Chain A
């Protein structure tokens, strides 16, 4: 099953709290903000689960050259947009790990190692991981990342991974959990709930 996954990055640096990956991908394969991903650690014994909180496209000299040219042909434009792998760097916030088929919502014993493959979580895995929402305090307390927006985006994707009739109840439950942890900061909570609501209406 692991072989069938699309590799969305390879770890270039990491810590217990998160990992950074670089890769060249075509535009249709680019990961999304708040996406659920994983990378193996401890020789494959664990899979560290992360939420993508930043995606940056590195400088690309050829694209710059074509952009500055008078008139790239339609074929060259299509090549750049559909074929050319875009050099991207993604950053993920660690929210848990999986060991022996069990999901744990806490920081992992070890981070992934350099060049470990970062792959997306399958919808069934996202559903399984978000059966519990114990990762919320860990994610919401992270400084120096847009934690609230990442959490909202990730929860919306977790809702999308569920059958249509389960989505709204899931988002309501998630909103209640967020209120537990952000009850002291109503402004922050309101913004996060608005983000979640946007997902529920979609």
Chain B
């Protein structure tokens, strides 16, 4: 081990003190934020909408729906038989030091029919990308980690759509373990490279397929750090005439997240009111009928609060929304986050061991073509120094 822990001791102590200080600050800020939430909830909806419009395009808050902000709703009943589908992806990024240029996207999924007594269907679908047009953008640049992540996210949504189409008329909960807004597009929305546009189009196309089934699509975010609701509350604290893009960006409760605000409001199994994400990317989703809404849910497992994102066609459909609420609770009962997502992750993950085996296969394929598989000198030296020391004291 080359990490000098002794040198870190004082920094670790400072980290502990800093964390404790933040907790004190959060505890002090929370009652004020809750009071502000209560006050904002009583404002006239048109006055709130006016503030949101004045906040400008760069404001990343939430727009309230028709439900009272502080409402806490218990779970509806589930049908005796329903399907839960989870998909998760893993990847190997391109490595210019490797013997051959490639990247890998692996999607794992589990399709479990509650009430059937049958073993679920598990699947793992790896895809190796190695062709020139797969590894370079239309501008001739090498595909980077962000684009690979985008491909993975599209593959996850595609897997969900493929599975949901097997049950076109049956209650089906289709889960991802992240938000629904394509992260790549969120990061690169303004650059709007053709590759990002193509991936976004494909992603939304898969959501179209899901909408045509009876599936209730949802993204589950464990230990969420989202602040959309808090930003809305902060915005509502400003007098309408003082709201502008600059004032809207000022944070009044920088140490808090939405989860803190709702923790005491939600008993186990209850969900919060529904809100809509405000962002230019969500406007693009909205234009296709997939505007992303969210609520917070006490999963009933150790008091944990999860953020659940759903498209408009789930938020506005009572049956699908019930399936999301009650289905996630049932799925979380044993594992804290949905069981199908736990298993999908297990089926997707590419371990270091898997990666080494894949590299061995690739080396063999190169040798059969008469090519000596050579990694870069930098990679070679890293292996020298990373290998276990043979002589121990």
Contact = CB atoms under 8 A, between A and B. Distances in A.
Same complex origin of A and B: yes
A79 B122 contact: yes
A83 B116 contact: no
Contacts of A82: 119
Interface in A58-105: 62, 65-66, 69, 72-76, 78-79, 81-84
Interface string B316-336: 000000000000000001110
B343 to A, nearest CB: 7
A78 B120 contact: yes
A72 B117 contact: no
Contacts of B346: 62, 84
B122 A75 contact: no
B334 A76 contact: yes
Contacts of B114: 73, 75
B247 interface: no
Nearest to A62: B342
Nearest to A12: B353
Contacts of A65: 334-335
A10 interface: yes
Contacts of A76: 112, 334, 339
Nearest to B351: A24
Given A65-B334, A72-B334, A74-B117, A79 B360 contact: no
Contacts of B119: 75, 78-79, 81-83
Interface residues of B, number: 21
B360 A75 contact: no
Contacts of A22: 353
A84 B120 CA distance: 10
B118 A78 contact: yes
Nearest to A72: B334
A18 B110 CA distance: 37
Q: State the majority secondary structure of interface residues on B.
A: mixed
A16 interface: no
B67 to A, nearest CB: 31
A81 B119 CA distance: 9
B360 A115 contact: yes
B71 interface: no
A72 B330 CA distance: 11
A65 B335 CA distance: 7
A10 B357 contact: yes
B113 interface: yes
Nearest to A7: B357
Most buried by A among B334, B346, B353, B360: B334
B379 interface: no
B242 interface: no
B356 interface: yes
Interface string A29-64: 000000000000000000000000000000000100
Contact of B113 (A66, A69, A75): A75
Contact of B120 (A10, A62, A83): A83
Interface in B79-119: 110, 112-114, 116-119
A72 B342 CA distance: 14
B120 A79 contact: yes
B124 to A, nearest CB: 10
Given A62-B346, A115-B357, A69 B334 contact: yes
A83 B117 contact: no
Interface in B116-130: 116-120, 122
A78 to B, nearest CB: 4
A82 B356 CA distance: 27
B343 A75 contact: no
Contact of B118 (A69, A72, A75, A84): A75
A76 B113 CA distance: 10
B112 A75 contact: yes
Contacts of A79: 110, 112, 119-120, 122, 343
Most buried by B among A66, A69, A73: A73
Nearest to A79: B120
Nearest to A22: B353
B116 A75 contact: yes
A169 B240 CA distance: 97
Contacts of B333: 69
A20 B168 CA distance: 47
Contacts of B342: 62
Contacts of B339: 76
B120 to A, nearest CB: 5
Contacts of A84: 122, 343, 346
19 contacts: A22-B353, A62-B342, A65-B335, A66-B335, A69-B333, A73-B114, A74-B117, A75-B117, A75-B120, A76-B112, A78-B118, A78-B120, A79-B110, A79-B122, A79-B343, A82-B119, A83-B120, A84-B122, A115-B356
Closest 3 CB pairs of A and B: A78-B119, A74-B117, A69-B334
Interface of B: 110, 112-114, 116-120, 122, 333-335, 339, 342-343, 346, 353, 356-357, 360
Given A72-B334, A79-B119, A81-B119, 9 more contacts: A65-B334, A65-B335, A66-B335, A74-B117, A75-B113, A75-B114, A75-B117, A75-B119, A84-B343
